[in-house]
Structure 1
Amino acid sequence: MTRTILLASAASFVLAGGALAADLPSRVEAPAPVFVAQPVFSWTGFYAGVNAGVGFNAGDDRDSVVVVAPNASGVPAGTTIRYGDNSEDASFTGGGFIGYNYQFVNNFVLGAEADLQFVGLGDDDAAAPISVTPVTPGFQPLRRGISGVDWFGTVRLRAGYAFDRTLVYATGGLAYGGGDDARFETAAGNRVFFQDDDDVGFGWTLGAGIDYAMTDNLILGLEGLYVNLDRDVDANGTAGFVGAAAVPAASESNDDNLEFGVVRARLSYKF
């Protein structure tokens, strides 16, 4: 009898424990957090935009014309006439550009860009002669307008490194541009145009900049360029006066370059 009572008590305890466990809330594992990877900005693609800033002269404010052939009035070959420069020291510049970037190896960016710009560094007035070497008795040099640059363009490569939405780059390539008419001018104000210096001159440019992608399409930037344009001149014309007689220069040569810098802000749209 005692054994029966003990077995019945044990069975009742087991059944009671099972019922109590059934009444307890079940334990559910919390779901693992889901992380959504944010897309990384890519600089690859075409873009176009506008820019505006300041241009400033960076070269010597002098211009030399060399008489390379003698003439019957006694002006020897090798005579050098130097003139002052009336071109502006600084000016507004602005224009547009178009380009393409390619991002590779995660952060390196290569690209190409072309732009066309207005810049008011031209010279509309004649400049007075500074010196004539060697000194020629009776020779009075005419005043000559020094050509500046009124517009320019570049075709450049760009190489940079991207810090996500910020791109730091160096750039360089071909530059071209045009300026004012060069001319001789007599003391009485009679102008003798001896050649047109408004033709396109070619040269090179180097610079650097930084771009920041404000959105996936709008990019704000700042860029600086140094531009060097060749303005070699070979022209026939009038070099000056001996007494009252005009002295034609069989040929003149000008090997000075036009040098100027540009700092500009950029706003572009990436397609």
Structure 2
Amino acid sequence: MNRLVAGAVALGALGAVSAQAADLNYAPRGYTLNQPLNAYSWAGPYLGGTLGYAWGEVGNNPTKPSGITGGIEAGYNWQTGPWVFGVEGDINLTGANDTFAPWKFSNPWFGTLRGRAGYAFSNILFYGTGGLAFGELRGETFGLSESHSTVGWTLGAGTEFGLAQNWTAKIEYLYVDLDSSNFVVTGAKNDYRFGVVRAGINFHF
């Protein structure tokens, strides 16, 4: 009788361990379509932050603002097989500025709202991205300051890596073109076109 009880307990423990081991092979999130249960899943919502460097030029002006940029981002992915589609938005503060002769131009902040499409090799995702951009261009000369917030467009590409069950890291390049505005301090239409290289980390829910 004691052997029968001990055998039943051992079988129960073995079953629990097997179930836990099987769980470890499942995708970290349950939103993926047409995906094997043990494959890495990119699907679902995420939230994270980025840090990078921006450099560009102001139209109709010799200044070339550049500087560190950092911000927060949020998005949502859908996945079918190895194909990943999503939408992502971000808002960033920047230290990009430059002075030439009497003029100084800076870009205090910018944001984007973009679509993403990519191909995943398990926990490595290659993607392209593009959409709406918006931000502020500030001009200064002889103690006078003037700011304009405009919209524009952005295109880019990147690679994202799955580090753990809910964490990913990425490196990304964006080209941003903000529309021109009439600046009184320069007497001209000035826009801002710039590139951004940045790294980011995201938590997937």
**TM-score normalised per structure 2:** 0.74
- CA deviations on 1:172-221 (whole Å, 9 max, x unpaired) are 011111132444x3xxxxx4x3x72x231211111001111111200011
Q: Which residue of 2 aligns with 1:268?
A: 202
* Contact kept in structure 2, 1:150 and 1:180, CA below 8 Å: yes
Shift of 1:150: 1.7
**CA distance in structure 1 between the aligned counterparts of 2:62 and 2:204, rounded to whole angstroms:** 45
Verify: 1:203 aligned to 2:152, yes or no. yes
**CA distance in structure 2 between the aligned counterparts of 1:112 and 1:181, rounded to whole angstroms:** 32
Verify: 1:257 aligned to 2:194, yes or no. no
For structure 2, the 5+ residue unaligned runs are 1-21, 26-37
The AA in structure 1 aligned to 2:192 is L
Percent identity, please: 35
The AA in structure 2 aligned to 1:84 is P
Number of aligned residues:
172
**CA distance in structure 1 between the aligned counterparts of 2:138 and 2:191, rounded to whole angstroms:** 14
Verify: 1:98 aligned to 2:98, yes or no. no
SS at match of 2:105: coil
Q: Which residue of 2 aligns with 1:229?
A: 178
Verify: 1:84 aligned to 2:62, yes or no. yes
Shift of 1:53: 1.5
Q: Which residue of 2 aligns with 1:45?
A: 44
Q: Which residue of 2 aligns with 1:148?
A: 106
**CA distance in structure 1 between the aligned counterparts of 2:121 and 2:62, rounded to whole angstroms:** 47
- CA deviations on 1:90-149 (whole Å, 9 max, x unpaired) are 321111100000001x111110000011221124x5x43xxxxxxxxxxxxxx4x34331
Shift of 1:234: 5.7
SS at match of 2:138: coil
The 5 Å alignment of 1:145-224 reads 145-183=103-141, 185=142, 191=143, 193=144, 196=146, 198-224=147-173
**CA distance in structure 1 between the aligned counterparts of 2:151 and 2:171, rounded to whole angstroms:** 25
Q: Which residue of 2 aligns with 1:120?
A: 95
**CA distance in structure 1 between the aligned counterparts of 2:170 and 2:176, rounded to whole angstroms:** 19
For structure 1, the 5+ residue unaligned runs are 1-35, 65-82, 129-142, 186-190, 240-251
SS at match of 1:147: strand
Decide which structure has the larger Cα Rg and report it.
1
- CA deviations on 1:58-109 (whole Å, 9 max, x unpaired) are x3x6x53xxxxxxxxxxxxxxxxxx532x54x321111100000001x1111
**CA distance in structure 2 between the aligned counterparts of 1:234 and 1:199, rounded to whole angstroms:** 8
SS at match of 1:84: coil
**CA distance in structure 2 between the aligned counterparts of 1:173 and 1:146, rounded to whole angstroms:** 29
* Contact kept in structure 2, 1:122 and 1:180, CA below 8 Å: no
Q: 1:182 to 1:230 in 2, by over 3 A?
A: farther
Q: 1:234 to 1:149 in 2, by over 3 A?
A: closer
Higher strand share: 2
Q: Which residue of 1 aligns with 2:55?
A: 56
Q: Which residue of 2 aligns with 1:107?
A: 82
What is the alpha-carbon root mean square deviation over aligned residues?
A: 2.4
SS at match of 1:216: coil
SS at match of 1:96: strand
Q: 1:103 to 1:159 in 2, by over 3 A?
A: same
